[in-house]
C-alpha cells in the first residue's frame, strides 16, 4: 500500500491518534529512532570539551608569557677610529658594549665578551695571553678558542666593518665562531698596519 502511495498520511489523520493517548498508554512501541549520541558519549564529549578548554587556557597562558615587543638596546655601535687602536686586545668598549676589539697586523676582529658556558664576562690577562672567566673558570686563547674549563665552544666574534670614515662599526647581532669562517669578512676588517 505504502509503496504505491508516495504521499504521507494526511495531517488531520494524525491528530486523533495523538489526541487519544488513553487508548494505548505505555503499550505503544518506542520509535525505533537510534539517538545520534549515547548518554555516555555525550558525557565524554563534555569532559573532552572541558579538557580542551583547560588545555587552550594553559596554552594561552603560556603564550601570554612571551612578550611581542621588547625594549632592548641596539646591538650595533661605532667603535671609533680604527687608527686609534694598538696591536692586541683593547678593553676600551668592555664596560659599555661588552666587546673586545682585537687588532692584528692585518686588521681587526671584535669578540663578544660573553663566556659561551653560561654567559659571564671573562677578563683578559695579557701576561698569560688568555681570557679567563670568573664564574666557572673557562679559559680562552687570544683567538677565542677554549683551552681549559667547561666552556663548550669558542667565543663569538661579531660582525665588524670599516666605515668610509675610518671608524669601526661593530654589530653584535651577527656572530660567528667557527674556525675558517670567523677569520673572513664580515667578522674580520682588513686594515694593513702603517
Partner 1 sequence: MPLPPLDIEKIKKEVIDSQLWRSVFRGGVWKDTPRDRAGHIIGNVWLHLHPVKVRPRALKWAYTWGMGGISFALYLLLTLTGVALMFYYRPTIGLAYQDIKDLEFAVTLGMFLRNAHRWAAQAMVVAVIAHMVRVFLTGAYKKPREFNWGIGVLLLTLTLFLSFTGYLLPWDQLAIWAVTVGTNMAGATPVLGNEGPLGSLVGMRINNDVRFTLLGGTMVGENTLLRFYVMHCVAVPLVVGILLILHFWRIRKDSFSAAPYEANEEKVDVWPHLVKREYIGAAGTTLFIMIWSILQNAPLEAIANPNVTTNPSKAPWYFVGLQELLVYFDPWIAGVVMPGLIIVGLIAIPYIDTNPKGIGSYAWKERPFANTLFMLGVVMWFALIYIGYALRGPNYAWYWPWESWFMVKPAPPPTWSVFGPKPDGAYSMLLGIPLMGAITAAWMLLPKLIQKELDGKKTMGAFLGLVALVGAGGMAMGKMGATEVAFLLFFLGASFYYGFVLPQRHIRTLDWPRYSVTMVLVISTMSVLLKMCARLTFNIKYVLTIPSISMNF
Q: Which residues are at the interface with partner 1 (CB under 8 A)? A: 62, 65-67, 70-72, 94-98, 113, 117-123, 125, 128, 130, 132-137, 139, 147-150, 152-153
- Identity of the residue, 53 or 125, whose beta carbon is nearer to partner 1 in the bound complex: 125
Q: Which of 159, 184, 177 is nearest to 169 (CA)?
A: 159
Residues for the chain: how many in total? 194
The nearest distance, CB 113 to partner 1, in angstroms, is 7
Nearer to partner 1, 85 or 93 (CB): 93
Which of residues 107 and 117 has its CB atom nearest to partner 1 in the complex? Answer: 117
Q: In this structure, what are the phi and psi dihedrals at residue 133, rounded to the nearest 5 degrees?
A: -90, 135
**Minimum distance, C-beta of residue 24 to partner 1, in the bound complex (Å):** 59
How far apart are CB 182 and partner 1 at their closest, in Å?
16
Q: Which is nearer to partner 1, 47 or 125 (CB)?
A: 125
Q: How far is CA 71 from CA 87, 102, 115, 171, in A?
A: 36, 30, 24, 18
Distance from the first to the final alpha carbon of the chain: 114
Shortest distance, position 127 Cβ to partner 1, whole Å: 8
146-148/139-140 β-pairing: antiparallel
Amino acid at each position: 500500500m505504502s509503496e504505491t502511495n508516495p504521499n504521507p498520511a494526511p495531517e488531520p489523520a494524525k491528530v486523533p491518534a495523538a489526541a487519544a493517548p488513553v487508548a494505548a498508554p505505555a503499550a505503544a512501541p518506542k520509535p525505533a529512532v537510534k539517538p545520534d549520541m549515547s548518554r555516555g558519549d555525550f558525557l565524554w564529549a563534555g569532559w573532552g570539551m572541558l579538557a580542551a578548554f583547560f588545555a587552550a587556557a594553559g596554552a594561552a597562558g603560556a603564550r601570554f608569557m612571551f612578550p611581542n615587543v621588547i625594549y632592548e638596546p641596539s646591538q650595533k655601535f661605532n667603535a671609533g677610529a680604527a687608527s686609534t687602536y694598538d696591536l692586541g686586545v683593547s678593553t676600551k668598549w668592555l664596560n659599555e658594549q661588552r666587546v673586545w676589539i682585537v687588532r692584528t697586523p692585518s686588521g681587526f676582529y671584535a669578540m663578544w665578551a660573553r663566556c659561551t658556558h653560561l654567559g659571564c664576562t671573562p677578563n683578559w690577562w695579557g701576561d698569560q695571553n688568555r681570557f679567563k672567566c670568573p664564574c666557572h673558570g673557562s679559559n680562552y686563547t687570544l683567538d677565542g678558542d677554549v683551552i681549559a674549563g667547561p666552556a663548550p665552544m669558542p667565543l663569538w666574534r661579531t660582525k665588524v666593518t670599516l666605515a668610509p670614515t675610518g671608524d669601526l662599526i661593530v654589530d653584535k647581532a651577527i656572530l660567528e665562531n667557527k674556525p675558517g669562517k670567523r677569520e673572513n669578512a664580515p667578522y674580520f676588517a682588513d686594515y694593513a698596519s702603517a
